[in-house]
Structure 1
Amino acid sequence: MSDTQSKLQTRTAAVLALAAILILIVGGYLLWDNSFGTISTDDAQIDGHVHPINARIGGTVVWTNPDIDDTKFVKAGTVLARLDTNDYQPTVERLEGDVQAQQAQLQSAQLAVPITQATTSSRLSSAQASEVETEAELASARAGVLAATAQVKQAEASSRRAEADRVRYEQLVISHEISRSEYDTRMTEANVSAAQLSAAQANVQAAEQKVQAALQHIVQRKQDTASAATAPGQVATARSSVDRVSGDLKKSKAALREAQLNLSYTDILAPVSGIIGRRSIETGQRIATGQLLLNIVPTDDIWVTANFKETQLRHVQPGARVTIHVDTYGSDIQGRVESIGGATGSKYALIAPDNATGNYVKVVQRIPVRVRLDATRVGGRPLLPGMSVESTVHP
């Protein structure tokens, strides 16, 4: 072998050895950087909440805030626009009248309960007392019948005796055994006895009429007692009236509250502070319930969503330090890994990929990582949702 060939072989071996060393160095660096070094991605952007402001009720816009327009900052609670209140104020006033009327009805119904209790209790006591009194009257009338009947019997005996004496004396006066005056005396006694008998019989009839009247009174008093005995039902009816009016009052109050809310919705307020975008409301416009009027984007609650390859997340943990390079300002800010997404981006797609085919090609998936920023401004300038950034995680 010549010296030239020997030198050539030596140089070739040196080049190959150098190439192998370079490959090992590059491979080792890549392995170290992927396993233990920083992890970067430019598939990242600033994220934040976008609050759509929708009309809660329909109506006609009678006023719009002149300071509200796209790109303008608005504070929470600011009146953005105002709807015509004439569409809702009459309903509120009518329902207020209904509530007042039903409150008066409820008070009246509540007062009626104790009054009904006292009245029915008094009626029952009075009816029961009257029934006892009438029964006493009946007993007295029946006793009167017995007394009158005894008097009739006594009068009948006296009348028979007097009539017998008159008949006997009549025979004696005819035979001139006694004087005419003695006969007249006996005749008078017979007439008196007959009159007393008639009076006694009349007393019996009167006493029997009293018994019949007392019996009728007892029937009436028993009916009064039975009517008064319905007191619990009357009290229950009064209480049910209270419950019914109370239920109607609750319904009216709920309707009034709803009407008052609708009236309050005529003032369209900003729920959060932020920058306005996509304003589409003007004075004189007729809007419908749920219609989108504008968007508000807060600038104090933002974060970074960085989509890393699945092979990059081997050592990424929540709390890891992150450097964010903002393309808009060419500046860096710091943050921390807040959380790692629950699925790859393809799983959140409207149409998920179907890998159950014969032409499957493995593609490295990306997983979203949320980074909470240490600051929401860079050099006094705000970070806005949608800005492109580069994220570098330091495991």
Structure 2
Amino acid sequence: MALTETKGGKASNTLLVALFVAVLISALLGLYFVVHPNEVSTDDAQIDGHVHPINTRIGGTITWVNPNVEDTYYVTAGTVIAHLDPNDYQPTVNRLEGEVQASEAQEHAAALNLPIASATALSRLTSAQASLAEADADLESALSQKTAAEATVAQTEANYRRAEDDRVRYQALVATHEISRSEYDQRATDAKSTAALLAAAQANSASADQRIEASRQKIKERQSDLRMAETAPESIASARANVLRASGETKKSQAALWNAQLDLGYTNLVAPVSGIVGRKSMEVGQRVAANQLMLTLAPPKDVWAIANFRETQMKKMRIGQPATVHVDSIARDFQGTVESIGGATGSKYSVIAPDNATGNYVKVVQRLPVRIRLNGLEAAGPLLLPGMSIEVSVRVSP
């Protein structure tokens, strides 16, 4: 009987304790909602920030690593992190420098040749035109001489016939002794002299024919020269095209040299931003490939808070509302502002999005990411790092 009473008493005490705890929790919750009637909070939150991956731009062999670049060390922007062997790229730069010099020399020569070629082509055209005009004038002169020579032949031939007729008539008279021998000799001399003049006139006419033929042949040659000289615009255009071609080759070689110089410059691995080193994976003598990850840099001041609120808490939440961020690791509160609200729930951003069209749908309250901009980070020191756990409370509109 005593044992039964003892067990009954313990059960009563346990029940009383449970009731007391339930009442206390209800009271605390009621007090919280009285004090903070317009506040929503979540502990599904963390500090987020930029984590910059530092990759190699080119492949090569690491010859030097900065001893002040180690995991958890802070480095400033512009710090040389490591060196790659430049001997893999220096010969290419030297060769392309020579090609650039050769291309520039060819371009300079083409530019100098352009006015010379233009002047030569135009001079040839002018000379060919003048030569053709001269040949035309020679032909006109030869034709005029031919006309004069033919007239002279006709006149001389008439004189010769008259003189020859006189000689024949006087020859008959001298045979009958009607005239003296001296008179006949005079007529014979006149006939012979006129015959010589006729032969000379005929020879001059034949010479005029030859000159006409020579002039016509010369005109054909000058016309051929003129047709060749009339290609002056094409010759000038060709010289200009050579300048443009040489200029293009120069630009091409300069671009190749620039790329080679960039590759040579990439043998110095430089920190693009200031931050804390993480995931360092490089050592002297290591052979690396292009775009290989060497380390990461996390700027300690470039951080913000990401809080995942339940969709049932989003009814009154708006951008610009004040927020309080409690950092678990340092037990400190930071003030902030709602900067943006995610465009979809976290499940939609997952690698495998949920498919509710399976016939086994179970309603689960979704969460939306909310970004909080933190105030006073400059005076806080490097206390907030990406990944830290936090609790976020947002004072929403009533």
Q: Give yes or no for TM over 0.5.
A: yes
Which structure 2 residues correspond to residues 20-99 of structure 1 after superposition, within 5 A?
29=30, 32=33, 36-99=37-100
**Structure 2 CA distance for aligned equivalents of residues 180 and 200 of structure 1:** 30
**Structure 1 CA distance for aligned equivalents of residues 301 and 90 of structure 2:** 38
Contact preservation (8 Å) 1:331, 1:378? no
Q: Secondary structure of 1:382's match? A: coil
Deviation at 1:197, TM superposition (A): 1.3
Which structure 2 residues correspond to residues 340-351 of structure 1 after superposition, within 5 A?
340-351=341-352
**Structure 1 CA distance for aligned equivalents of residues 313 and 143 of structure 2:** 118
> Counterpart amino acid of 1:376?
L
**Structure 2 CA distance for aligned equivalents of residues 224 and 335 of structure 1:** 90
Q: Which runs of 4+ in 1 moved over 4 A?
A: 25-28, 30-35, 377-381
Deviation at 1:101, TM superposition (A): 2.4
Deviates more, 1:197-206 or 1:307-316: 307-316
The answer to whether the aligner puts 1:375 opposite 2:369 as a matched pair is no
The answer to whether the aligner puts 1:199 opposite 2:193 as a matched pair is no
Aligned length: 375
Deviation at 1:54, TM superposition (A): 0.8
Query: Residues 165 and 380 of structure 1: is their aligned pair in 2 closer, same or farther, counting only changes over 3 Å?
Result: closer
Query: Residues 207 and 34 of structure 1: is their aligned pair in 2 closer, same or farther, counting only changes over 3 Å?
Result: farther
Q: Secondary structure of 1:197's match? A: helix
Q: Deviations over 1:219-268 (max 9, x none)?
A: 12222222222222222222222222222222222222222211111111
Deviates more, 1:341-350 or 1:156-165: 156-165
Deviation at 1:292, TM superposition (A): 0.7
TM-score where L is the length of structure 1: 0.87
Query: Residues 302 and 140 of structure 1: is their aligned pair in 2 closer, same or farther, counting only changes over 3 Å?
Result: same
> Counterpart amino acid of 1:140?
S
Deviation at 1:30, TM superposition (A): 8.6
Deviation at 1:280, TM superposition (A): 0.9
Query: Residues 138 and 34 of structure 1: is their aligned pair in 2 closer, same or farther, counting only changes over 3 Å?
Result: farther
Please, what is the CA RMSD of the aligned residues? 2.6
Deviates more, 1:268-277 or 1:158-167: 158-167
**Structure 2 CA distance for aligned equivalents of residues 298 and 162 of structure 1:** 130
Deviation at 1:380, TM superposition (A): 4.3
Contact preservation (8 Å) 1:33, 1:39? no
Deviation at 1:305, TM superposition (A): 1.2
Query: Residues 377 and 327 of structure 1: is their aligned pair in 2 closer, same or farther, counting only changes over 3 Å?
Result: farther
Q: Secondary structure of 2:54's match? A: strand
> Counterpart amino acid of 2:99?
D
The answer to whether the aligner puts 1:324 opposite 2:336 as a matched pair is no
Deviates more, 1:76-85 or 1:355-364: 355-364
TM-score where L is the length of structure 2: 0.86
Contact preservation (8 Å) 2:300, 2:382? no
Deviates more, 1:228-237 or 1:347-356: 228-237
Which structure 2 residues correspond to residues 221-236 of structure 1 after superposition, within 5 A?
221-236=222-237
Query: Residues 355 and 142 of structure 1: is their aligned pair in 2 closer, same or farther, counting only changes over 3 Å?
Result: same
Q: Secondary structure of 2:244's match? A: helix
Deviates more, 1:307-316 or 1:283-292: 307-316
Deviation at 1:32, TM superposition (A): 4.6
Which structure 2 residues correspond to residues 1-395 of structure 1 after superposition, within 5 A?
29=30, 32=33, 36-376=37-377, 380-395=381-396
Unaligned runs of 5+ in 1: 1-18
> Counterpart amino acid of 1:333?
F
Q: Secondary structure of 1:186's match? A: helix
Deviation at 1:217, TM superposition (A): 1.4
Q: Deviations over 1:299-352 (max 9, x none)?
A: 010111111212222222222222222221222222222222211111111111
**Structure 2 CA distance for aligned equivalents of residues 209 and 302 of structure 1:** 105
Deviates more, 1:373-382 or 1:220-229: 373-382
**Structure 2 CA distance for aligned equivalents of residues 342 and 228 of structure 1:** 75
Q: Secondary structure of 2:162's match? A: helix
Unaligned runs of 5+ in 2: 1-19
Query: Residues 220 and 380 of structure 1: is their aligned pair in 2 closer, same or farther, counting only changes over 3 Å?
Result: closer
Deviation at 1:33, TM superposition (A): 6.4
Report the counterpart of residue 12 of structure 1 in structure 2: none
